Amino acid sequence: MQIHNYEKMWLVAALVLIVAIIATITYGTVGLGIAMVDDTEDTVDPGALEEEDGFDDPGVTQVGENEYDVHVIAYQFGYDPGDEVNGEIQIPEDSEVNFYVTSRDVIHSFSLVGTNVNTMVVPGEVAAITAEFDEPERYGIICNEYCGPQHHDMEGIVAVVPEEDFHLFTLEDVEAPDEVELGDDATFDVTVSSDHYDERTTTATFEAENETTGEEVEVEEELTFDGHDTAETTFTVDTDDFGTGDFDWTVTVEDEIESGSVAVLEELEEDE
Amino acid sequence: MSTFVDDFPAEAKVVRSSMYNAFVALAIGALMGILQTLYRTDVFHFISAEQYYTVLTAHGVFMVISFTIWFLVGVFAWAVISSLDRGVEDLRFTWAWFGFMTVGTLLAAIAIFGGFMSDPPEVLGSELSADVLFTFYAPLEAHPFFYIGLVLFVVGTWLAGADWFRSYLAWRSENPGERIPLPTFMVLTTMIMWYIATLGVATSILVFLLPWSLGLVDTVNPTLTRTLFWFFGHPVVYFWLMPAYLLWYTLLPKLAGGRLFSDPLARVVFVLFLLLSTPVGIHHQYLDPGIAEGFKFIAMTNTMFLLLPSLLTAFTVVASIEHGARQRGGEGRLGWLKALPWKDPVFTGMIFAGLMFAAGGFSGMVNAGMNINYLVHNTLWVPGHFHLTVGTAVALTFMAASYWFIPQLTGKQLVGRSIALVQVVLWFVGMVFMTNAMHRTGMLGVPRRTAEPWYDGFEYAGNVAEHNFQIALGGTILTLSILLFFVVILLTLLRGSKGGVEGSSIPEPLSGPDHSPAVIDNLKLWAGIAIVLVIMAYTLPLASIVERGGLFGPDGMRSFPSGNPGFLEYTSLFVQMVIQNATEVIFR
Ligand code: HEM
Ligand SMILES: [Cu+2]
Ligand SMILES: [Cu+2]
């Protein structure tokens, strides 16, 4: 076969270019450790995510000193957590975050705008992607794969917050009565969980006030958690102190608040 | 010298009709193009946000399935017939594939345009719409007509390929031992690539998506159908490109006043495309979970080697043009450029198309760079890239070539040559604006395929409004360019005077086929190697995808929109039972 000299030079130059590009990418993968989203995660059943580890209770969990796992479920048309309905994803500054994202319906993406956190989200598969966050900042999450008629409404937020504003305590539940008989104790059973990996303490604060009488109480209770854990405590109000009428209460754990009001009656009506 | 229509009037009619179909698709696609451009840049909303996706589906399907492939069959039919210098073996067969492709296009169009109705009617038990974009990723579900239409269209192209192989075999029996004429060689290697590539999409539709949309099976494995789509989806981009290459290798040197530099190198290039186009599709799935990094790496290296035939093409095409210019009296290091026929819209259009392709090649290298892909995947960067490649390298070459083909196919002289020249230049200018701004907004993270890429929770870190203005401006210039294209075509058809059209013969290359070893013409050998490469690249990934997600996906997978069960559901109950039992027996 006859190949012109210029052709030969061009051919060699082209091959050098190709090999150089491949070498650069290989360096990025091996040298810099930019791993691709891959098949290391087990598959899940998109119709039964509530039974899948991590996706039964999606959100942020601390797994190491500066390391956090975030499980997210993408759906038509939002992210749980992340979007407005389910609340933004909060992580502390200077942390390493492992996102685990799956879909309960069609193919979406999970993309943090302006970063290289960008992955397809396929029902049945879990996309695992790790990123480091230094400074406090708010990143938009968007879906960049068409997923249905409201695709463009699919958005959320990953908020990187200052260390001191960050916690993983959740006020899971406050069991409170609606009404109590004068003279009985009103009891408030509070359940708090911690998604921190190590031993932590936090304070649950109970406040109650009868606006008519002006009577009020404030109690603080220290809660200790041993890793991923829940703690319970009970606050009690002696209704003799408060007298009849409604009183308002709030339970506060860090920035989580639950509140309600209780009616104190002379005599409880016997229904049923 | 005679025109194509003088030599082969009956065949010219098929070629002409194919190109007219392509033009209709181009017109529809362009209308959709400007509607969506103005919408997503927030300049003007002629449509609703939901309709945006119907428009986008139509734009994608009409541009890159209908327009490109209809034009392709026209070019390929012309190339085979004229280079073998013999008519088709059986004209009825030729019209048969034309018929398949037409019916397929219509069915898909009906399904897509159904989506414009506020309350699409039920046909065959499901809603008549197909807002699934041209990639139709399950579990988004289209109306069965959409899938059936695509299948018929592809079957039409298979039959067209058979038609050309038939011509070739007939020619071969009369010309034993002769080298395959270069244009025919290009067509045949491309069609072999196409047969291999379409196996992916045919399997995806016939085995999974169509039965699923008809309610015969309940679920699909989304990664599997997606992978089968991209098995086809990358080679299809070379399918669009090969007719443009064919024209750059044959017509362009002639127009420049010279001849092709090297026939052997051209053959090598087409063989390389046949071998390397298919085992790379996974590069569209770099960011898919459920596919091992190793498979992605292999796809990446194959993709980079696929740069080689395009780089070689750049050399040969430029060398041939320079030769042409010097034949015309051009001199000097770059001074020869002045001697080129810049006033010829066919020549200038193709050169601009080629220039744009070089730019597209660079953004393509970025896309192909596996880990860099994180930054650009599914952002507007990607449409920026492929409007340079398929949207210009291919589309502009086709439009420019139409100014040469229509006279060849009708015997009428081109009317409005200077309008045509303005048209191709406008396309170039419009694309410069649109694609440059698309690439840049993509870098800011603005997503593609999104009606309203503006959000409540955050702002992009850049001046998106200014880029949007450029995108809208570019899109408007492009629309103007398309309008001028149709003005020239219609003027030519209605007013063109008969006769005086230059002949269609292509001059012999400088370095002829006898400078290459005969083995290059061994199509069976190349087909065999291509198949082996595909098997090597895809067996393990496909096996792993099926093992992970099941052949028909996990039980919890649903369909969207899940159409109401219609009468077909009942008639298909029996078939469904049989299939389920059969799969149970085979796969448990
Ligand atoms: C009038 C000229 C054109 C204009 C104004 C235009 C505009 C656009 C815009 C703005 C998009 C991005 C939409 C989005 O992702 O939200 C797009 C997508 C696209 N365009 Fe064009 N385009 C034109 C011509 C073409 C041509 C000639 C081709 C190919 C032959 C083409 C092929 C495509 C394809 C394949 C897509 C992607 C569709 C998808 O994401 O499903 N376009 N076009
Ligand atoms: Cu989406
Ligand atoms: Cu590709």
Residue whose CA lies nearest to ligand 1 atom number 42: B391
The verdict on A34 touching B (C-beta cutoff 8 Å) is: yes
* Confidence at residue B570, expressed as pLDDT on a 0 to 100 scale: 38
Q: Tens digit of pLDDT for each residue in B486-527? A: 999 999 999 988 888 887 778 888 888 888 888 899 999 999
Listed by number, the residues of chain A in 77-106 with a beta carbon closer than 8 Å to a beta carbon of chain B are 84, 88, 105-106
Catalytic site includes residue B226: no
Superfamily of domain B4-549: Cytochrome c oxidase-like, subunit I domain (1.20.210.10)
Across chain B, what does the average pLDDT equal? Answer: 90
Q: Average the pLDDT over B294-307 and give the result.
A: 90
Please report residues of B whose CB lies closer than 8 A to that of A126. 289
A1 and B450 within 8 Å at the Cβ level: the answer is no
3-class SS of residue B318? helix
Please report residues of A whose CB lies closer than 8 A to that of B222. 106-107, 122-124
Instruction: Tell me the residue ranges of DSSP E strands in chain A.
Output: 59-64, 67-75, 78-80, 89-92, 95-103, 108-112, 118-121, 127-133, 137-142, 155-161, 169-175, 179-181, 185-194, 199-209, 216-226, 229-238, 245-253, 256-265
**In which band, very low, low, confident or very high, does the pLDDT at A8 lie, cut at 50, 70 and 90?**
confident
Q: Dihedrals φ, ψ of B402, to 5°?
A: -60, -35
Mutate to test the pocket of ligand 1, among B39, B59, B386 (most ligand atoms within 8 A of CB): B59
Which position has the higher pLDDT, A29 or B324? B324
Q: Average the pLDDT over B311-315 and give the result.
A: 89
Residue type, B564: N
Catalytic site includes residue B449: yes
Are residues A21 and B366 in contact, defined by beta-carbon separation less than 8 angstroms? Answer: no
**In which band, very low, low, confident or very high, does the pLDDT at B584 lie, cut at 50, 70 and 90?**
low
* Confidence at residue B582, expressed as pLDDT on a 0 to 100 scale: 64
B304 and A22 within 8 Å at the Cβ level: the answer is yes
Distances (CA, A) of B543 to B138, B537, B557: 19, 11, 20
Are residues A103 and A123 in contact, defined by beta-carbon separation less than 8 angstroms? Answer: yes
Which residues, other chains included, contact B73 with Cβ-Cβ below 8 Å and sequence gap of 6+? B18, B97, B98, B101, B157, B160
Rounded Cα distance, B564 and B555, in Å: 19
Rounded Cα distance, B482 and B471, in Å: 16
A38 and B293 within 8 Å at the Cβ level: the answer is yes
Catalytic site includes residue B238: yes
For the ranges B18-27, B279-288, B325-334, the one whose mean pLDDT is highest: B18-27
Burial B228-246 (b: 16+ CB within 10 A, else e): bbbbbbbbbbbbbbbbbbb
* Confidence at residue B138, expressed as pLDDT on a 0 to 100 scale: 86
Interface mutation vs chain B, best among A40, A105, A106, A146, most B CBs within 10 Å: A146
* Confidence at residue A227, expressed as pLDDT on a 0 to 100 scale: 84
Q: Tens digit of pLDDT for each residue in A41-64? A: 889 999 889 888 899 989 999 999
Q: Tens digit of pLDDT for each residue in B114-148? A: 888 877 878 877 788 888 999 999 888 899 999 99
Interface mutation vs chain A, best among B212, B268, B458, B540, most A CBs within 10 Å: B458
The verdict on A140 touching B (C-beta cutoff 8 Å) is: yes
Structure tokens at B516: 């290459």
Which position has the higher pLDDT, A116 or B71? B71
* Confidence at residue B564, expressed as pLDDT on a 0 to 100 scale: 35
Q: From the centroid of its chain, how far is CA B169? A: 27
3-class SS of residue A265? strand
Residue type, A74: A
A21 and B304 within 8 Å at the Cβ level: the answer is yes
Name the residue ranges covered by the structural domains of chain A.
1-31, 37-165, 169-265
Please report residues of B whose CB lies closer than 8 A to that of A128. 289
Please check the confidence at residue B588 and state whether its pLDDT lies above 60: no
Rounded Cα distance, B274 and B276, in Å: 6
Q: Is the dihedral of CA B197, B200, B206, B210 positive or negative?
A: negative
**In which band, very low, low, confident or very high, does the pLDDT at B586 lie, cut at 50, 70 and 90?**
low
Flag the least confident range among A115-119, B342-346, B368-372, B408-412.
B368-372
β-pair type (A256-265, A179-181): parallel
Please check the confidence at residue B56 and state whether its pLDDT lies above 90: yes
CB pairs under 8 A between A and B: 228
* Confidence at residue B567, expressed as pLDDT on a 0 to 100 scale: 37
Our CA-based measurement puts residue A66 at a distance from the nearest CA of chain B, in whole angstroms, of 24
Please check the confidence at residue B575 and state whether its pLDDT lies above 80: no
Q: What pTM, to 2 d.p., does this model score?
A: 0.91
Name the residue ranges covered by the structural domains of chain B.
4-549, 550-588
Angle, helices B68-84/B222-256, rounded to nearest 10 degrees: 50
Q: Tens digit of pLDDT for each residue in B530-569? A: 999 999 999 999 999 998 888 888 777 777 763 333 334 4
Which position has the higher pLDDT, B507 or A193? A193
**In which band, very low, low, confident or very high, does the pLDDT at B238 lie, cut at 50, 70 and 90?**
very high
Percent of chain A surpassing pLDDT 70: 98
Catalytic site includes residue B387: yes
Nearest by CB: B371 against A36, A113, A122: A36
Q: Where are the alpha helices (DSSP H) in B257-306?
A: 263-276, 293-305
Please report residues of A whose CB lies closer than 8 A to that of B226. 107, 122
**Does ligand 1 have an atom closer than 6 angstroms to the CB of B47?**
no
Residue whose CA lies nearest to ligand 1 atom number 4: B33
Q: Average the pLDDT over B3-12 and give the result.
A: 92
Catalytic site includes residue B234: yes
β-pair type (A155-161, B126-127): unpaired
Task: Give the chain A residue whose CA is nearest to the CA of B511.
Answer: A2
Q: Tens digit of pLDDT for each residue in B464-475? A: 999 999 999 999
* Confidence at residue A263, expressed as pLDDT on a 0 to 100 scale: 86
Give the CATH fold of the A169-265 domain: Immunoglobulin-like (2.60.40)
A152 and B379 within 8 Å at the Cβ level: the answer is no
Structure tokens at A35: 């791993």
CA nearest to A182, candidates A133, A241, A120, A130: A241
ipTM: 0.87
Our CA-based measurement puts residue A182 at a distance from the nearest CA of chain B, in whole angstroms, of 49
Mutate to test the pocket of ligand 1, among B63, B240, B470 (most ligand atoms within 8 A of CB): B63
* Confidence at residue B576, expressed as pLDDT on a 0 to 100 scale: 58
Q: Tens digit of pLDDT for each residue in B172-198? A: 999 998 999 999 999 999 999 999 999
**In which band, very low, low, confident or very high, does the pLDDT at A213 lie, cut at 50, 70 and 90?**
confident
Nearest by CB: B370 against A29, A106, A143: A29
Please check the confidence at residue A26 and state whether its pLDDT lies above 50: yes
Residue whose CA lies nearest to ligand 1 atom number 28: B391
Measured in angstroms, how far is the CA atom of residue B280 from the centroid of ligand 3? 7
Our CA-based measurement puts residue A94 at a distance from the nearest CA of chain B, in whole angstroms, of 21
Rounded Cα distance, B348 and A23, in Å: 37
Ligand 1 atom with the shortest distance to the CA of B482: 1
**In which band, very low, low, confident or very high, does the pLDDT at B109 lie, cut at 50, 70 and 90?**
very high
The CATH class that applies to domain A37-165 reads mainly beta
Q: Dihedrals φ, ψ of B380, to 5°?
A: -65, -15
Are residues B102 and B159 in contact, defined by beta-carbon separation less than 8 angstroms? Answer: no
Are residues A74 and A121 in contact, defined by beta-carbon separation less than 8 angstroms? Answer: yes
In eight-state DSSP terms, residue B498 is: B
Measured in angstroms, how far is the CA atom of residue B445 from the centroid of ligand 3? 21
A1 and B516 within 8 Å at the Cβ level: the answer is yes
Helix (H) or strand (E) holding B542, with range, is helix B523-549
**In which band, very low, low, confident or very high, does the pLDDT at A134 lie, cut at 50, 70 and 90?**
very high
Q: Is the dihedral of CA A113, A119, A122, A125 positive or negative?
A: negative
What is the DSSP secondary-structure string of B340-398?
S-TT-HHHHHHHHHHHHHHHHHHHHHHHHSTTTHHHHTTBTHHHHHHHHIIIIIIHHHH
Q: Where are the alpha helices (DSSP H) in chain A?
A: 5-26, 239-242
Topology match between the domains A37-165 and A169-265: yes
Residue whose CA lies nearest to ligand 1 atom number 36: B60
Are residues B227 and B290 in contact, defined by beta-carbon separation less than 8 angstroms? Answer: no
Please report residues of B whose CB lies closer than 8 A to that of A127. 287, 289
Place of tokens 């088709």: B88
